[in-house]
Amino acid sequence: MKIKLIFFSVLLVSTINVFSQEVVTPEKAVSLALENNYGIKFANTQVEVAKNNASILNSGYLPTLTGNAGATIDKQNTEGQLANGDVRIAEGAETRRYNASINLNYTLFDGLGRLYNYKQFKERYQLTELQARETIENTVFQLFTVYYNVAQLRENNSALEQTLNISNDRLLRAKYQFDYGQSTKLELLNAEVDINNDSINLMNAKQQLINSKRDLNVVLGNTIHNDFEVDSNISFESLLIKDQLFEKAKLRNVTLMQIDKNILINNYGIRSSKTSYLPTIGLTGSYGWNESTNNSPLAFVLQNTSTGLSAGLNLSWNLFDGGTTITRVKNAQKNLEAQEIQKEEYLITLERDFNNAWDDYQNKLRIFRLQEDNIKTSQNNFDRTQEKFKIGQLNSIEFRQAQINLLNAELLRNQAKYSAKLAELLLLNISGEILNIEF
């Protein structure tokens, strides 16, 4: 009765603990990572910087307007001779001058340089968005690598706990049999050794689970402050068609899209460099106010005030710059060729990686299904072995071997299950579809 009470208490505490733990679903994990992961936050700030650079305020299309103002005061002793021969002396004659102006400068034509530069900024903004998307995709894949590692370790813990419970039952049975003289001390010692081994394995597995949960929390931006559980129910995408998925990869693979974007940027770079061959036409304008006062007796005008508006056009044409523009254009063309070569190379690499990922996924999926069938065989074998062991037809060594076989089958099934899921996610990541699946 006492043993039953203790068992019930432990079961009750475990049940309360399970229900008190927060369950982090795959959807919630992705949401937390997108909002709190530091790598994603940094990528988003880079997107904002690129967005600012692509603004009309950074295009050069708007004029510049400057304001100037100044004031000077002169105090001098002067001596002057008039036409009639009289000499006049002014001591401490003071002259004051004030000025203010507004100046406008605007480039009317610069060989279309501003246009191509502005287009480059727009494309760089989109390139930065692609880089941020790559960061998000890699982070999501990393997230599920850790997430499913937690799920696998949790299921491994359950299998080890079940093994330990079976070993406890076996130890209790060995004690009763030894007390009643139905078995030797050796059977009891073997049971105790196996319990110790099972306990150590479970302790190590629990510590691995704790560490793995901490790793997951880091990816989530350290947003979960209590112990939590993960959802171990997974499903596989059953509608994947290889040819269609590869066509998507050639259109949506984020690395390939970045290469295409860089090619477009280099095209605009060549056009921008060629604009140095053309002249620049600018418009200038200003509105100014000037006032001066002079209290010297030698001055003909005591105060003078002027206001006026001025405007003009200017043309600048760099007829020869020593070959700098020619060199810049040639280098831009070579950079474009390099980008096109890189694209050709990456298409070959992409096809190889896709085929490897597809075959690996199909292989691991078949292994998982075989391991599921193996579980049924191992469980059936263990049940039969346990029945024979209870009626004394098998010894403890044979029973232990069947128990270990069942445990190994469960551990291998768990490994195959999550390895297949991660292989599927890698395939979808290469294809640019990882953010479009439903978890």
Mean pLDDT (whole number) for 372-387: 95
Q: Where do the domains of the chain lie?
A: 20-62+111-278+322-436, 66-109+280-316
pLDDT of residue 186: 86
Mean pLDDT check: name the lowest of 10-24, 269-283, 364-378: 10-24
DSSP states of 194-258? HHHHHHHHHHHHHHHHHHHHHHHHHHTTS---S-EEE-------TT--HHHHHHHHHHH-HHHHH
10 Å Cβ neighbour count for 430? 25
Q: In whole angstroms, what is the distance from residue 21 CA to residue 203 CA?
A: 20
pLDDT of residue 77: 67
Mean pLDDT (whole number) for 137-165: 97
Q: Has residue 299 got a pLDDT over 70?
A: no
pLDDT of residue 11: 41
Contact (CB, 8 A) for 96 and 73:
yes
**Tell me: the pLDDT tens digits for 41-93?**
999 999 999 999 999 999 889 999 999 999 988 777 666 666 676 666 666 66
Mean pLDDT (whole number) for 158-179: 91
Q: How confident is the model at residue 248 (pLDDT cuts 50, 70, 90)?
A: very high
Positive or negative, the CA dihedral 415, 420, 426, 429 is negative
pLDDT of residue 357: 97
**Residue of 25, 26, 23, 151 lying closest to 437 (CA atoms):** 26
**Tell me: the pLDDT tens digits for 28-45?**
999 999 999 999 999 999
pLDDT > 90: what percent of the chain?
73
**Tell me: the pLDDT tens digits for 409-428?**
999 999 999 999 999 999 99
**Tell me: the pLDDT tens digits for 105-115?**
999 999 899 99
What fold does the segment set 20-62+111-278+322-436 form as a domain? Outer membrane efflux proteins (OEP) (1.20.1600)
pLDDT of residue 141: 97
pLDDT > 70: what percent of the chain?
89
**Which residue is listed with tokens 């299921």?**
155
pLDDT of residue 18: 45
Contact (CB, 8 A) for 23 and 230:
yes
Mean pLDDT (whole number) for 255-276: 95
> Regarding beta strands 228-230 and 22-24, do their DSSP bridges make them parallel or antiparallel, or are they unpaired?
parallel
Tokens of 313: 């056009």
pLDDT of residue 355: 97
Helices 185-219/396-430 angle, 10° precision = 10
**Tell me: the pLDDT tens digits for 321-338?**
899 999 999 999 999 999
